Structure 1
Amino acid sequence: MPYIALEDHLPGITGLLEYSKGTAQPIRNLTQFLLRGPSTLTEAERELIATVVSYGNECTFCTTAHTAAADLLAGETQTAEKVKQNIETAPVSEKMKALLTIARLTGESGKNVTTHVVERAKAAGATDIEIHDTVLIAALFCLYNRYVDGLGTALPIDPAYYDVLADRLVNHGYTRLPQGYDHLKKA
């Protein structure tokens, strides 16, 4: 049960973003820019970064939501699952292994990111902006993970909610739906 009064039909981050639209807007804008804006990293790769950080932070809502988004973008369900279990053996490029390692370490503490792991990413072809964006996405998802869990938000009753959410994230992005979310209320 959430620690503050949130709308019952909006589990996880959605309820929090609707609760405080003023603080939500800049967070949504940054997330939209980082995860859906121009980048040499694919949207699926950026969702994997969100997934790895959320998984490391044990945030069930965010892990499940971003795994579903990564799966939808990739058109398969194996990669995100394998990345969560072991980055080094996952079916991603060496560059992504290095960037996902940076993301995981950032999720633990920014001080855990060392020259060694950054040099590994650069040697695998990562650019400075890709390293920058990886750390920023990881830091942003630490904020989300702590926001969701720190206020005790509810998990969806129906696991299919995550598929609907993934579709919305992939096809609409991280901006607020123009019509809001009342359509999600049960009749």
Structure 2
Amino acid sequence: VFVGMMHRPDELRAFLDYHDALMERESGLSKAEREMIVVATSAANDCLYCVVAHGAILRIRAKDDQIADRIAANWRTAPVTERQRAMLGFAVKLGRTPEDVTDGDLDELRSHGFSDDDIWDIGSIAALFALSNRLAHLMDLQPNDEFFTMGRFPRG
């Protein structure tokens, strides 16, 4: 996505700044959990590029060579905690049917220990990657070959 936006440097800079503010800072969400959100919502948006690219990052951050594939295939049955499943369910719901999000959804997240700041982060990551997914579709981006194997095999 970054390369595709190079012809719009102001937009690229804003995108990267927001991306880094959400994905790299310390918060109640681990970096692996943030990547879980990206993979689940990107799969819901049929964005192969983002699923594969962020799947590679997730495998590395989670130190699990199968987690990204399992979340992309079906986050509901993936081997994640109930807390993470609630997080992914909310992120996907916000991305697919935002009009259906209710206070009950927020209360459900709070019951799993998410703070209001955490909930904001979940929603913001889902929203940013909804934009990223659509731009990847617009540019017909295809994953780099190395993304398919990153985090799967021991480094030799």
Q: TM-score, normalised by structure 1?
A: 0.74
1:153 to 131, 135, 140: 140
Q: Distance in 2 between matches of 1:65 and 1:141?
A: 12
- Is 1:76 aligned to residue 64 of structure 2? yes
Listed as ranges, the gaps of 5+ residues in structure 1 are 1-12, 167-187
Q: Distance in 2 between matches of 1:80 and 1:112?
A: 26
Structure 1 residue runs of 4 or more that deviate by more than 4 Å after TM superposition: 161-164
Task: Tell me whether 18-27 or 85-94 shows the greater mean CA deviation.
Answer: 85-94
Q: Distance in 2 between matches of 1:85 and 1:120?
A: 24
Q: Distance in 2 between matches of 1:101 and 1:87?
A: 8
The alignment-based identity, stated in percent, is 28
SS in 2 for 1:16: helix
Q: CA RMSD in A?
A: 1.9
SS in 1 for 2:114: coil
Partner of 1:10: none
* Gap change, CA 1:29 and 1:163, over 3 Å in 2: farther
- Matched to 1:87, the amino acid is W
Listed as ranges, the gaps of 5+ residues in structure 2 are 152-156
- Is 1:125 aligned to residue 116 of structure 2? no
Larger Rg: 1
Partner of 2:22: 34
1:115-146, Cα deviation, whole Å (9 max, x unpaired): 33222211111111111110111011001111
Matches for 1:1-187 after TM superposition, within 5 Å? 13-150=1-138, 152-156=139-143, 158-161=144-147
How many residue pairs match? The answer is 151
Q: TM-score, normalised by structure 2?
A: 0.87
